[in-house]
């Protein structure tokens, strides 16, 4: 039933986005922002307001370890050429095989891997990644993380310690350790966040977060 409700939500939301985006964007006083996130959540936010993708982290995901490296040295990774490998050569190959994600493009920049989940070809992934890296607004960054993809206490601590004006981290209800950047999803009762695109609006005001000058979890001003 829960999965059915989520599918209904996504279909309804997809129908409403073209209608509502012009009203939503009127409430923003900040439209030139870059979301750096560990999965597809950022692309959803841009579509919700009808804004261009000013971030390379669209339609893809990174395992927690790699995402933290990317966040902590963003400009380096964004300006370093990306190459591609077969899944057999990935350090995450066993998990990718388990997830039946062996045919999707896998990009490599130095010591991190980027899983281009929603891209059909390496050419498409390369073109869009390169173009969107050039659009990053380093003066207006929003960092978003979720407890998923091999994220443990160490990675959560690292994210909480990132020196950034705006950062949020989604964690499930049963996660007992508290950090300033955490936003707790009471609806997620497992060990990881499963779906943050249909659940986030119950716990944060997205427009307020984008407009704020400072965000650290639920603390916004």
Give the up-direction half-sphere exposure of residue 60: CA atoms within 13 A in the CB hemisphere. Answer: 30
Q: Which residue has the tokens 């950022």?
A: 42
Instruction: Compute the radius of gyration of the chain from its Cα atoms.
Output: 17
Helix, strand, or coil (residue 85): strand
What is the H or E stretch that residue 217 is in? none
Position 176 scores a pLDDT of 74
Position 201 scores a pLDDT of 86
* Contact (CB, 8 A) for 38 and 57: yes
* Contact (CB, 8 A) for 25 and 15: no
Blockwise average pLDDT, block size 10, the chain, 221 residues:
50 60 90 97 94 97 98 98 98 98 98 97 98 98 98 96 97 88 92 89 94 97 96
Position 1 scores a pLDDT of 47
Position 197 scores a pLDDT of 87
Residues near 135 by beta carbon (within 8 Å), at least 6 away in sequence = 34, 52, 53, 54, 55
Look at strands 166-172 and 215-216 and give their pairing. Answer: parallel
Query: Which of 111-116's residues contact partners 24+ apart within 8 Å by CB, and which partners?
Result: 111/66, 111/69, 112/62, 112/66, 112/69, 112/70, 112/77, 113/62, 113/63, 113/66, 113/85, 114/60, 114/62, 114/66, 114/82, 115/60, 115/61, 115/62, 115/63, 116/59, 116/60
Position 23 scores a pLDDT of 83
Q: Is the pTM of this model over 0.75?
A: yes
Q: Give the separation between CA 192 and CA 41, rounded to whole angstroms.
A: 15
């Amino acid at each position: 039933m829960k999965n059915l409700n989520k599918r209904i939500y996504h279909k309804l939301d997809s129908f409403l986005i073209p209608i509502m985006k012009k009203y939503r964007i009127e409430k923003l006083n900040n439209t030139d922002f870059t979301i750096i996130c560990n999965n597809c959540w950022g692309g959803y936010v841009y579509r919700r307001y009808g804004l261009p993708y000013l971030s390379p982290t669209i339609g893809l995901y990174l395992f927690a370890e790699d995402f933290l490296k990317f966040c902590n040295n963003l400009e380096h990774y964004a300006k370093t050429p990306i190459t591609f490998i077969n899944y057999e050569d990935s350090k995450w190959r066993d998990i990718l095989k388990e997830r039946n994600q062996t045919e999707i493009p896998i990009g490599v920049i130095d010591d991190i891997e980027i899983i281009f989940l929603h891209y059909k070809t390496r050419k498409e992934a390369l073109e869009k990644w390169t173009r969107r890296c050039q659009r990053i607004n380093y003066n207006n960054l929003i960092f978003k993380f979720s407890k998923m993809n091999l994220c443990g206490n160490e990675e959560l601590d690292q994210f909480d310690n990132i020196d950034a004006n705006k950062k949020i981290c989604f964690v499930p209800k049963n996660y007992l350790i508290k950090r300033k950047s955490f936003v707790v999803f009471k609806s997620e009762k497992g060990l990881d966040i499963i779906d943050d695109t249909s659940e986030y609006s119950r716990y944060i005001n997205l427009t307020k977060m984008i407009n704020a000058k400072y965000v650290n979890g639920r603390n916004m001003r």
